Structure 1
Amino acid sequence: MNCIAELLARASRLEQPGAEDAPLILAHVLDRDRSWLYAWPEYRLDDKESARYESLLERRMKGEPLAYLTGHREFWSLDLKITPATLIPRPETELLVEAALALPLQQASVLDLGTGSGAIALALAGERPKWNITATDLSAEALEVAALNAARLQRTNVGFLHGHWFEALDEKQRYHLILCNPPYVAETDPHLQDNGLPYEPQTALVAGTDGLSDLRLIITRAPAYLRPDGWLIVEHGLEQGAAVRQLFEDAGFDQIQTRQDLEQRDRITLGCYSRSP
């Protein structure tokens, strides 16, 4: 049997990418936090714990995302359950939440398209308990995860619908705000082979030959589901800002803005639809 100090020292000498996550994996296996590991370095794992740790560390070094190994990911300070059926929430997607919270909306009807783990909808639900939020997804498996997260976090102002983009909705329903983090990677983009992306659901990543096919559909159809002066906010690729702003303009939006992430890269675009659809 190996003690914690020995396992972590051995992992620190490994040169493979992912080995740096050994403390997180070990804490997950032992169902403890990282501070406990360093408080009890002499703790010896039993054979079952050792085997599970070694297996997970090997999978991590082969490229499997940490969130899928531990089954959890933090987003907006929420501990979310994550499975391979859901896209792993990224920090930059918190920009969508920030932009939504900055809008002058009190009691609002909100739509989160392609909710995945429920990250965006559940973050907003906690910050705005008077908002009535509907979250849709094409994947029934993803919706199960989102519903579990909603139950764990006691978010009672979120409902879930199964369907592709707007297909799950009543055509007469109108929203004050629609948000979406759609697929926006081109199918030929070489980055799809990097950073654990091969392990994530490709339907949540890839959007045609230019990465804009889902964004076109969403931006074009959104006005029919918005209330007067309703808002649409979408996430997109760092080189897609100009193209997305043009799509917003063509669809009749005004007050169009593109906002950047912490690395000064175009990341989200929003606009207000003040016309009658």
Structure 2
Amino acid sequence: MACLEQHEIQSLVALSNPYQQLDRLAGRLKGGDVVILACGPSLSDYAPDELERLLAGRCVMAVKQAFDVVPELVDFQILNTWNSQRYDYSRRRPFIIRETAIGDPPVFGEADLELTVARPSALSEQLAIRQNFADYTFDRQIDRPWGPGVLYEIGFYLALHLGAGRIITLGWDVGVRASSIMPHFYDRPNPRKTALLHRSMAIRSLHERNRFRHDAGVLYNKPRIIADEVDACIAASEGWHRYLQEQGVELIVVSSGSLVSPSIRRARLEDLIVPEPVAAAVQRCQA
């Protein structure tokens, strides 16, 4: 069982007004943990059943496809328009937050809180470069900065808004230095999906092509990675560490191969979290 009960998510969805939704979430955790599952290869360091045992009753935030690893435990799923796909919410539906920038390619699927990302005119305006983290807390504005990356644009800010005392990340690997390749935990050959992607190229309209890919369950809107972005994100990880520390929040990395700043504490998930009875965990989370 996840931290938010289904009726609480439905209540948030029913509000529809983004300011009211964020007000409802403000300070909810009162110093508790937020576990963020990102899509780096190290998310596979733990089997799904291990994560289910360790994270039961915790506040879990999943970046995009990380939702599929432990769908019944995810409270918040955070999306943007890149590396999109269709998700199966039949087992449990999280609260879905999606951000979009003007000019982004079309995307389909559900979202409960829609946010806008400013598109800077230069790379020097990225949050990772400027590191003006305090300017984009949700109590100041709901428009999102250009990170790059949904973890920097939404994930850490949402955890801070919830009142987290610790942010524990798994799968936050950043990428590969001096490379245009961004590895993910789900990277593996799939002939059926490759054939569907090839078939979709015959569709001339980008809108209809993306609709076909979404309905077919294949990944679409793969982004172009700028090689220097990885170094910028590595440097920004140290800035995030300092900023969150100033707010009284400890940032911890579980990922074995992460390139984030060495000043950020590394630990094993089982050393950070003592599994507790699910009923007690949920009661603590809702207190």
Q: TM-score, normalised by structure 1?
A: 0.36
**Relative contact order (alpha carbons < 8 A, sep ≥ 6): 1 or 2 greater?**
2
Structure with more strand by fraction? 1
> Radius of gyration: which is bigger?
1
